[in-house]
């Protein structure tokens, strides 16, 4: 059923309003921004392994565990979804990073109380508080 699939949209807002923000170098983050990033990771990693937006599940899209994500099987050869050693590698990573970043932002918002129930993709799935 199509309504069960997770819509990967990417981050659509930044500090300058409704524009796609530039990625920042992690070593250049201010202490507050770095702490916010860590809080988001902590929340993501604390979710049950069965939650498709948990650290375990999102990391599994890239590599191990080699399991279906969002009801879609990987390459079928026990190598997960990532197209390492392929010309498709860079284009494959775009939606993977978009999912990671939008969930990370949602978990950061939840961690500091900016929202109490926010959609990870700002569309179809609420994150747990």
40 lies in some domain:
yes
- Picking from 47, 17, 42, the residue whose alpha carbon sits closest to that of residue 125 is 47
31 versus 60: the higher-pLDDT residue is 31
The highest-confidence range among 49-53, 72-76, 122-126, by mean pLDDT, is: 49-53
Peptide bond into 65 cis (omega under 30): yes
69 lies in some domain:
yes
The whole-angstrom separation of Cα 60 and Cα 67 is 7
90 lies in some domain:
yes
Residue with the two structure tokens 């978009």: 98
Average pLDDT along the chain: 76
101 lies in some domain:
yes
pLDDT per position as a tens digit, 20-51: 777 889 999 999 989 999 999 999 999 998 88
Look up the domain containing 103 and give its range. 29-129
Pair 56, 49: CB distance under 8 Å: yes
pTM summary value = 0.75
Is the pLDDT at 102 greater than 70? The verdict is yes
The whole-angstrom separation of Cα 40 and Cα 29 is 15
Name the domain count of the chain.
1
The whole-angstrom separation of Cα 118 and Cα 108 is 11
60 lies in some domain:
yes
């Amino acid at each position: 059923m199509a309504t069960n699939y997770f819509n990967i949209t990417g981050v659509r807002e930044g500090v300058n309003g409704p524009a796609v923000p530039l990625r920042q170098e992690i070593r250049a983050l201010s202490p507050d921004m770095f702490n916010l990033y860590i809080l988001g990771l902590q929340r993501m990693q604390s979710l049950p392994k069965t939650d498709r937006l948990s650290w375990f599940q999102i990391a599994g899209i890239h590599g191990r565990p080699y399991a279906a994500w969002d009801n879609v099987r990987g390459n079928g050869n026990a190598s997960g979804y990532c197209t390492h050693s392929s010309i498709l590698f860079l284009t494959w990573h775009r939606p993977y990073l978009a999912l990671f970043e939008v969930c990370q932002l949602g978990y950061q918002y939840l961690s500091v109380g900016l929202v109490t129930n926010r959609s990870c993709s700002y569309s179809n799935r609420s994150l747990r508080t």
